[in-house]
Amino acid sequence: MEDQLISRIFDRAMIEQAYPIVRTLAPGITLERWVQFARPRITSRSSEWPRGLMAIQNASGYILGLFSFKVRDDLHESRILAVSNIVVPDIPGRDQVGRSILKASDHLAMIHGCRAIRAELNNEIDPSDCDRTWLSATLISCGYSLGGARAFKRLPGGLPATH
């Protein structure tokens, strides 16, 4: 991938533009569900506790990856940047897209006064159990340590998934 990659905070026009890459990792996600997920993350802006969606684009404006972020209060670290819903399709140069996501995360954490970044490798947007080892290796090469545990339990009788 010889293109220079650019990170950009989502605006409303980017929501539908990003849908095809969301579908590559989660074919069951409908456009309606994606819009329902994305809209609150771009319209609810708090200067003290910001959150949003960030796209990684090539010079032509094509979205190659995305992630959601939220500044949170953390008992141990004070302010942290929580990064989740990392979406990078299996394309040539995805390692570069992954590194661009981490670079954008570093920048967001610095400008918002965060002391740490927590990258969550979960299946909220990617329930396909795809190969995530490349992302783990990219995280480690960029100074992250894989630590902690996360558990998930689906409750019986809960609201049906809107995929």
Full DSSP string of 67-128: EEEEEEEETTTEEEEEEEEEE--S-TTHHHHHHHHHHHHHHHHHHTT-SEEEE---SSS-TT
| Least confident stretch, 32-36, 64-68, 137-141 | 137-141
Q: What is the DSSP string of 118-136?
A: EE---SSS-TT----HHHH
- pLDDT the model gives residue 62: 94
Confidence of residue 94 (pLDDT cuts 50, 70, 90): confident
Banded model confidence at residue 112, pLDDT cuts 50, 70, 90 = very high
134 vs 27, more confident:
27
pLDDT score recorded for residue 127: 44
- Residue indicated by tokens 């998930």: 152
What global pTM score does this model have?
0.80
Matching CATH number, 6-141, of 3.90.1150.10, 3.40.720.10, 3.40.630.30, 3.90.1010.10? 3.40.630.30
Which long-range contacts (C-beta less than 8 Å, at least 24 apart) are formed by 11-14? 11/42, 12/39, 12/42, 14/53, 14/55, 14/63
- Alpha-carbon span 161 to 163, nearest angstrom: 6
Of 1-5, 53-57, 70-74, 106-110, minimum mean pLDDT range = 1-5
Buried b / exposed e across 52-86, counting CB within 10 Å, b at 16+? bbbbbbbeeeebbbbbbbbbeeeeeeebbbbbebb
Give ∠ CA 41-84-81 in degrees, rounded to 5.
Answer: 80
Sign of the CA dihedral running 93, 21, 131, 52: positive
* CA-closest candidate to residue 56, choices 110, 17, 109: 17
